[in-house]
Amino acid sequence: MEIDVKKEGKAVIISLTGRMDAVSAPPFDKTVDDFIEQGETYILIDFRSLECISSAGLQSILALAKRLELMNGTVLLSDLNGAVKEVFEISGFSSIFTIYDNLDAATASA
């Protein structure tokens, strides 16, 4: 999985490409840990180019959300497609996260 990061206003935008699985989730955890340690609490994850996500990926997203909630921070998700969207729906994650149709809508809310 490729992880691309940019800062826009107060948001850190993390764009994911490929597969988010048990192998690629730990580097994602490390990336967000580094940003949180730098004081970032507003994180937007762009799923547009993510092809699939496993339970390991879901756990990473949930752990991030739990951590940010304790810090009064926010995690926003955008552009879920295909298998990723369906896994979010099946696992109940669609109803516990704020999900935008696209990155522009998510950044506009920042």
Partner 1 sequence: MPMLHIILPAKMDHLKSFIQSLSGWLQHNGMAAEKIPRVELAVEEALVNIIRYAYEDQTGDIELRGDVADDQRFVIEIMDSGAPFDVCTLPQPDIHCSVRDRKIGGLGVFLIQRMVDELLYRREGGKNILTMFIGRNNGRFSSSRPDIHAGA
State the DSSP string of 53-104. Answer: E-HHHHHHHHHHHHHHHHTT-EEEEE---HHHHHHHHHHTHHHHSEEESSHH
- Toward partner 1, which CB reaches closer, 22 or 110? 22
User: Least CB distance from residue 56 to partner 1, whole Å?
Assistant: 7
Place of tokens 């497609």: 81
Strands 2-8 and 11-20: antiparallel
- Toward partner 1, which CB reaches closer, 60 or 78? 60
- Toward partner 1, which CB reaches closer, 5 or 22? 22
User: Least CB distance from residue 51 to partner 1, whole Å?
Assistant: 7
User: Least CB distance from residue 58 to partner 1, whole Å?
Assistant: 6
Distance CA 106, CA 30 (A): 23
Q: Name the site residues for partner 1 (rule: CB under 8 A).
A: 21-23, 51-52, 54-56, 58-59, 62-63, 65-66, 69, 82-83, 86-87, 90-92, 95-97
User: Which amino acid is present at 20?
Assistant: M
